[in-house]
Amino acid sequence: MEKFVFERKRKTTIALSCDVLVAGGGIAGIAAAMAAARGGKNVVLLEREYLLGGLATLGLVTIYLPLCDGKGNQLVFGIGEELLKLSIEHGAEANYPSAWLDGGSLEERIKNRYITQFNPHLFALRAEALLKTLGVTILYGTLACAVTCEDEMITSVIVENKSGRSAIAVQSVIDCTGDADICHMSGAKTVLHEGGNGLASWYYYYSGGKVTLKMFGLADIVPDQMPQNAGSQEKDQYKASKVESLDKNHRFSGVDGEELSRAVIAAHGKMYEDILEHRKTDNSYVPVTISAIPLVRMSRRLVGAYTMDDTENRKYMPDSIGMTGDWRKRGPAYEIPFRTLYCNEVKNLLAAGRDISVTDTMWEITRVIPACAVTGEAAGTAAAIGNNFPKLDIAELQKRLTAQNVKLHVDSPH
């Protein structure tokens, strides 16, 4: 028999109000907050940790995957490119994209995809400074735990932090949690990824006078992405990285608290063993920093007005809000429809980043940094226009995105 307790009735204080609430401060959340603030809206950004960037910074997944199609054509512009440049403002850790940033030829761009590696700490600090200059209110250590709804609209988001429990009154909400938490709480239809997640825990280590990133388990990189002019250390780093789960028998959904703790502990155990193994032959080998959050790739997502599939390569989408390529291979180019960002059950809710409405096979493509930035910018721009997203003026949204240097269609000039 299930045990339970009765909590006393709550009267929750409305501590803040905003035009746009962005839940989650990863890449999608940063892009959404930037776009909404630039659109003149009062924006509150919730982040449960105490650093921006999500997996890209706290998870140490510091590979800014390609903004191009692998055939010399840039697909991602706007905030997606702006954040790449921001991430290496103080220098790239590896793979500076000179072919793209220094006027390289088409042949050079074909050989070297528009990819880079950044320092997670500098990127997070720089992103925070940028959002502050835009007037975004950042609430760290703050978890969205419930919502209130009226007439198919979210009216407030209930949050908890060191101040206790409070409410934030909202006009619209952008779910960038990575796990579609707000979508789930609000009654929007969601679905779990069928395959679950494998174990990984990236870390930086010091050895031989150098600090190096080790992509320990499930490395989001494939050999053909390595620049032709990469140094031996870079090539060795990628060659040595694992592309499988640290434990093939361990899968986790990403939306169960106890399960997440077990997964993190298991990954830590594998990492500790790896470090000790290296120290047997190299006493200078020590970890510098390790992933501070679970490396969840795909967990729960919105079931939106449209569910996009990876078979829709180069398909024209009349409501496209931007494009992305396939980080795993050369050639594909996808136009992402606005319909993947909203649902019909909750009118003032948008999803961005890992939360958008795609099939499992397409999820593998849209979960990474470039697509997260594209969908985040589109969501923030849409929220600057209105808050009934199924009825939003798509022509106006596309007009604004185009003015923000976003390329919408494969065959359109840029």
Task: Please report the pLDDT score of residue 235 as a whole number.
Answer: 52
Within a domain: residue 8? Answer: no
Task: Please report the pLDDT score of residue 313 as a whole number.
Answer: 98
Within a domain: residue 10? Answer: no
Does 28 share its domain with 161? yes
Assess whether pLDDT exceeds 80 at residue 224: no
Strand-pairing partners, residue 34, are none
Assess whether pLDDT exceeds 60 at residue 78: yes
Task: Please report the pLDDT score of residue 241 as a whole number.
Answer: 47
According to DSSP, residue 7 is labeled P
Buried b (16+ CB within 10 A) or exposed e, 262-275: ebbebbeebbeebb
Assess whether pLDDT exceeds 50 at residue 237: no
- The widest CA-to-CA distance across the chain, in whole angstroms, is 69
Does 139 share its domain with 41? yes
Within a domain: residue 34? Answer: yes
Collapse the DSSP code of 305 into the 3-class scheme (helix H, G, I; strand E, B; otherwise coil) and give the result: coil
Does 176 share its domain with 43? yes
Token look-up 């735990």 returns 145
DSSP string, 333-357: EEEEEGGGTB-SSSTTEEE-GGGSS
Assess whether pLDDT exceeds 60 at residue 240: no
Q: How confident is the model at residue 414 (pLDDT cuts 50, 70, 90)?
A: confident
Does 27 share its domain with 130? yes
Please state the pTM of the whole predicted model.
0.95
Q: How confident is the model at residue 243 (pLDDT cuts 50, 70, 90)?
A: low
Collapse the DSSP code of 369 into the 3-class scheme (helix H, G, I; strand E, B; otherwise coil) and give the result: helix
Boundary (domain end) residue, out of 290, 323, 353: 290
When pLDDT is averaged across residues 155-176 and rounded to a whole number, the result is 98
Give the residue among 331, 384, 322, 316 at the shortest CA–CA distance from 353: 322
Does 286 share its domain with 179? no
Assess whether pLDDT exceeds 90 at residue 413: no
Does 174 share its domain with 284? no
Residue pair 401/383 in contact (Cβ under 8 Å)? The answer is: no
How many domains does the chain fold into? 2
Assess whether pLDDT exceeds 70 at residue 234: no
Assess whether pLDDT exceeds 70 at residue 135: yes
Within a domain: residue 411? Answer: no
Contacts of 151 (CB under 8 A, 6+ apart): none
Does 24 share its domain with 76? yes
Contacts of 35 (CB under 8 A, 6+ apart): 79, 376, 377, 378, 379, 380, 381, 383, 384, 404
Boundary (domain end) residue, out of 290, 319, 342: 290
When pLDDT is averaged across residues 298-324 and rounded to a whole number, the result is 98
Assess whether pLDDT exceeds 70 at residue 74: yes
When pLDDT is averaged across residues 94-104 and rounded to a whole number, the result is 96
Within a domain: residue 161? Answer: yes
When pLDDT is averaged across residues 287-302 and rounded to a whole number, the result is 97
In which element (H, E) is residue 394 found? helix 394-403
Measured between alpha carbons, how far apart are the two ends of the chain, in Å? 63
Boundary (domain end) residue, out of 235, 268, 290: 290
Percent of the chain residues past pLDDT 90, beyond the cut:
88
CA distance 245 to 277: 19
Does 281 share its domain with 309? no
Does 37 share its domain with 125? yes
Does 330 share its domain with 263? no
Does 237 share its domain with 188? no
Task: Please report the pLDDT score of residue 2 as a whole number.
Answer: 79
Does 169 share its domain with 40? yes
Assess whether pLDDT exceeds 60 at residue 38: yes
Q: Tell me which residue range forms the domain holding 126.
A: 15-195+299-403
pLDDT digits (tens, 9 = 90+) for 319-366: 999 999 999 999 999 999 999 999 999 999 999 999 999 999 999 999
Assess whether pLDDT exceeds 70 at residue 116: yes
pLDDT digits (tens, 9 = 90+) for 20-35: 999 999 999 999 999 9
Task: Please report the pLDDT score of residue 230 as a whole number.
Answer: 55
Contacts of 261 (CB under 8 A, 6+ apart): none
Assess whether pLDDT exceeds 80 at residue 226: no
pLDDT, averaged across the chain: 93
